Amino acid sequence: MGRTSAYFQADWFGPAVISVLAVLVIGLIDRAFISPAALDVLILAVALNGMIVLSQMVVIAIGQMNLSVGGIGGLAAISFAGLMQVQGLPPVAAAAIALLIGVAAGLFNGWLIATTGISAFVITLASLSLFKGINLGITSAQPFYEIPAVVKAFGSEALFDMLPFLSLPTIVIAFALMVLLTRMPLGRNILAVGANPGAVALTGVSLKWTVIAAHVISGFLAAAAGVMAVARLQIGLPTIGDDWLLLSFAAPVIGGAVLSGGHVSVGATLWGVAIVAIITQALVLFKIDPYLVQAVLGLLILWAVGINRWREVRARKGEGKL
Amino acid sequence: MFNHSAFRSILAAGVVAIASSGAIAALDTKVGIVPGGPHPYFSAWGPSGKDASRDFKLGAADYKVPAKWELGEQNLLLESMVSQGYNAFIIFPGDSVGSVSTVADLVGHGAQVIAAGGCFKDPSKALFCLGTDTGNSAYLGTKELLKVMKGSKRILHLTGFMVDPNTQLRIDGVRKAAQEGGGTVVQVIADIDAPEAAAEKIGAFMAARAGEIDGIIATAWVPAVQAANSLRKLGDKRIRMVAIDHDEVVIKAIKDGFVDGTMLQNPYGQAYVGAYALDRLRHGCTVKADAPWKSNALTARFIDSGTAYVDAAKAGNFVGAMQEITKGLLNSFEATYLNCKK
């Protein structure tokens, strides 16, 4: 197989081409879309949404879903902001505790799913309500306002005036996940459990601990997204996370993830995030009627997913697999 | 920093004198104060309920928040509160139409129900709706914005949930004021009550189109906060802005000159006066059929809970403005809207 063909068949290729073409075409129509300030907003959106989506992608890899991604992220966000405002903790300590909360929430989800055999859908649906309830119990639906300047700067400023600081955690985590899923036993076990749990069990790999590990990683990443959201929004709102669910599934699917598990791609998923962000921001710039925005967004996501699927089918036909 | 306790104390002190004169022993009244879901707009309802409970000697006036903005979540909460003995409810409808049957169930259990913040769609068993005249507030806010805009008057309108019927009223109110004042609404960005979506869409617009507008009118809480932050980040005071509500970020932006003013609503007064009214209704008063009801797209029994414009000169004492609104509403409420045996 030639290098060109390999690129064409790579999961990330289709979403990457669509993203780049979309930016170029929209940029040609309206130069403002590719202004440095607009690209900065686009990168910020991809950075935050990327972390949210990677949190879901890890659980999709084992053939499950985590409906509580937003609940965990919201709880971590208000914990991070609340610990700084009420307890006076420095940002690093508050962030560490918020991330630990995410790990604990993921452990709770994973342990319940692995030990009870109840579906992840049901468990995480219930835990979503639990985490949100704790969030509201702590905040009484009131925001935390006293976000330290260093956190605000992290959420709004850029390294060498080029790369937003907020994108750094997402870049680091994306590389770590790529290494985990392609080079490390745990990552390979996660994908194997998603592809064929029965076969994995026969090899002596612990299904239980693999499922728990995937949910712990998911909880950690959701919490990281919550901390990043506080930096980005410069306020600890209790509604952080409420709007994450659709995006968290849309981007991995656009990136070619198999919802039944066993196949995900970090790169393709992040390009999927970029497609959603480009669509969202283009709709604003093109002054689409606000009543139609949701419908147009849904149609365009379907279109992008369709293109990706068409590319996949065509590639397989070329190989004679279909 | 905006201190919620201090805010509550100051506001309560202003109205307690009036309240105490009309208070009767009403410990059997247990008021449930339930928003449609978590939102900072309702943060004043909690302390307001506590103050009403103390001032009117109620059995309780408790603020309970559904975990999500879903009708089912709100219904579950309301049912559980009925079983706990709550017999009067102040509700922001989770769905103006879908919640009507829930109100009928509550009334069937002997409870009194009023809507606050938003209304149920007529016909319903709710006694009345106490809320902001949202269309008028948006209209007045836009008028204030037009006053401070120099030269061309191109306006960006930021607003909230598209499923909220108030949103269309706000869009209409802004358009009407703009037309009357020689302005143009160049774009409406809606459905940005989620903070992440608000930051992304407002950021995208400001990055690409800031030069094409001269003013911003925000008619929902979260967009107002994010737009105030965006203008502060840009550091450009050319673009004028009028916001809504009293979030700390908005008030500080007014003081610092990034935002010109804000249209205060009166969530504190809605829950405070609402609890008072429910207690009176449970003790022999009835709703006046011929009261000077206002009407909106949902109900013909609407009471405006009041609105006020706060600019930089008044931002230091915006609590005083809310206090005045609540005082005025409570002072005249019984005589205007209720028939009570002397």
CB contact under 8 A, B196 and A240: yes
Q: How confident is the model at residue B257 (pLDDT cuts 50, 70, 90)?
A: very high
> How many residues appear in chain B?
342
- Single-letter amino acid code for the residue at A236: G
Interface contact B77, partner A, CB < 8 A: no
Domains of chain B (ranges plus CATH)?
A: 4-132+265-339 (3.40.50.2300), 134-264 (3.40.50.2300)
Evaluate the CA torsion angle A177, A183, A185, A187 in order and state its sign. Answer: positive
User: In the block, which residue shows the tokens 């928003």?
Assistant: B35
Give the model's pLDDT for residue B16: 47
B238 touches chain A (CB under 8 A): no
* Residues of chain A with C-beta less than 8 angstroms from the C-beta of B204: 38, 41-42, 45, 280-281, 284-285
Q: Show residues of chain B in contact with A49, CB under 8 Å.
A: 196
Beta bridge partners of B34: B91
For residue B24 the two structure tokens come to: 């009767």
- Name chain B contacts of A240, Cβ cutoff 8 Å: 195-196
Packing angle between helix A167-183 and helix A207-233, nearest 10 degrees?
170
At residue B17, the pLDDT reads 42
Counting DSSP H helices and E strands in chain A, the numbers are 14, 2
Count of other CB atoms within 10 angstroms of residue A30: 16
**What count of CB pairs under 8 Å joins A to B?**
123
- Per-residue confidence (pLDDT) for residue A299, from 0 to 100: 81
- Determine the pLDDT at residue B24: 44
CA neighbours within 13 Å on the CB side: how many for A87?
Answer: 14
Site from B2, B196, B234, B252 to mutate, A interface, most A CB atoms within 10 angstroms: B196
Supply A285's token pair: 């710039």
DSSP letter assigned to residue A288:
-
Q: A27: left (phi > 0), else alpha (psi -120 to 50), else beta?
A: alpha
Give the minimum alpha-carbon distance from B186 to chain A in angstroms, rounded to a whole number: 9
The separation between CA B153 and the C-alpha centre of its own chain, rounded to angstroms, equals 28
Token duo for residue B212: 């094409």
Directed axis angle between helix A293-319 and helix A13-29, to 10°? 140
Please report residues of B whose CB lies closer than 8 A to that of A288.
none
Q: Where are the beta strands (DSSP E) in chain B?
A: 26-34, 58-63, 88-91, 112-116, 129-131, 154-158, 184-189, 215-218, 240-244, 261-264, 286-287, 302-304, 308-311, 338-339
* Amino acid found at B298: L
What residues of B are in contact with residue A140 (Cβ under 8 Å)? 43, 46, 63, 65
Q: The whole model's pTM is what?
A: 0.82
Q: In this predicted structure, what is the pLDDT of residue B56?
A: 94
Write out the two tokens for B246. 């009293």
Q: Across the interface, do A284 and B249 touch by the CB < 8 Å criterion?
A: no
Residue B12: closest CA among B53, B60, B62, B51: B51
Q: State the pLDDT at residue B307.
A: 87
Give helix A36-61 / helix A266-285 axis angle, nearest 10°. 140
At residue A5 the predicted structure's pLDDT band, cuts being 50, 70 and 90, is: low
- How close does chain B come to A68, measured CA to CA in Å? 13
Cβ of residue B195 closer than 8 Å to a chain A Cβ: yes
- Residue B188 has its nearest CB partner, among A35, A142, A290, at A290
Kindly report the nearest CA distance between residue A64 and chain B, in angstroms: 23
Tell me which chain B residues have a C-beta less than 8 angstroms from the C-beta of A278: none
pLDDT at A161: 79
Q: Using CB atoms and an 8 Å cut-off, which of residues 17-56 of chain B contact chain A? A: 35, 38-40, 42-43, 46
> Measured between alpha carbons, how far is A127 from A247 in angstroms, rounded to an integer?
19
Question: Residue A320: pLDDT above 70?
Answer: no
> Between chains, do A233 and B226 touch, taking CB under 8 Å as contact?
yes
The runs of H, that is alpha helices, within A68-119 are 69-85, 91-116
Per-residue model confidence as pLDDT tens digits over A165-224 = 999 999 999 999 999 999 999 999 999 999 888 888 888 889 999 999 999 999 999 999
Which chain B positions have a beta carbon within 8 Å of A248's beta carbon?
none
Q: Which regions of A37-190 does DSSP assign to beta strands (E)?
A: 158-159, 163-164
Question: Which is it for strands A163-164 and A158-159: parallel, antiparallel or unpaired?
Answer: antiparallel
- Determine whether the interchain pair B208/A33 forms a contact, defined as Cβ–Cβ distance below 8 Å: yes
Report the share of chain A in percent with pLDDT over 70. 91
Which of A30, A34, A135, A136 is the best mutation test for B, with the most CBs of B within 10 A?
A: A136
Which among B271, B247, B261 has a CA at the least distance from the CA of B308? B261
A236-250 mean pLDDT: 90
B91 forms beta bridges with B34, B115
Give the CATH number of domain A12-319; options: 3.40.50.2300, 3.90.1150.10, 1.10.3470.10, 3.40.50.300: 1.10.3470.10
Chain A residues in contact with B68 by the CB 8 A cut-off are: 129, 132, 242
Measure the CA–CA gap between A3 and B188, rounded to whole angstroms: 47
Contact state of A41 with B203 under an 8 Å Cβ cutoff: yes
The minimum CA-CA distance between B292 and chain A, rounded to whole Å, is 34
Please name the residue that has the structure tokens 């995410």. Answer: A102
On whether any CB of chain A is under 8 Å from the CB of B205, the answer is: yes
Residue A260 — very low, low, confident or very high, per pLDDT cuts 50/70/90? confident
Residues B207-221 have pLDDT tens digits of 989 999 999 999 999
Task: Spell out the domain ranges in chain A.
Answer: 12-319
Residues near B200 by Cβ (< 8 Å), separated by ≥ 6?
A41, A44, A45, A277, A280, A281
Q: How far apart are CA B176 and CA B268, in angstroms?
A: 29
Model ipTM? 0.85
Strands, E, within B5-122: which ranges?
26-34, 58-63, 88-91, 112-116
Q: How far is B222 from chain A (nearest CA, A)?
A: 9
Helix (H, G, I), strand (E, B) or coil at B93: coil
CA atoms A129, A135, A138, A143: torsion sign: negative
Residue A319: what pLDDT?
Answer: 59
Q: B194 to chain A nearest CA, in Å? A: 6
Set of chain B residues whose Cβ sits within 8 Å of the Cβ of A234: 229, 249
Nearest-by-Cβ selection for A243 from B38, B46, B194: B194
Residue of chain A whose Cα is closest to the Cα of B37: A141
Query: In whole angstroms, what is the distance from residue B258 CA to residue A234 CA?
Result: 16
A138: number of CA atoms within 13 Å, CB side? 23
Tokens at residue A298, please? Answer: 């849904």
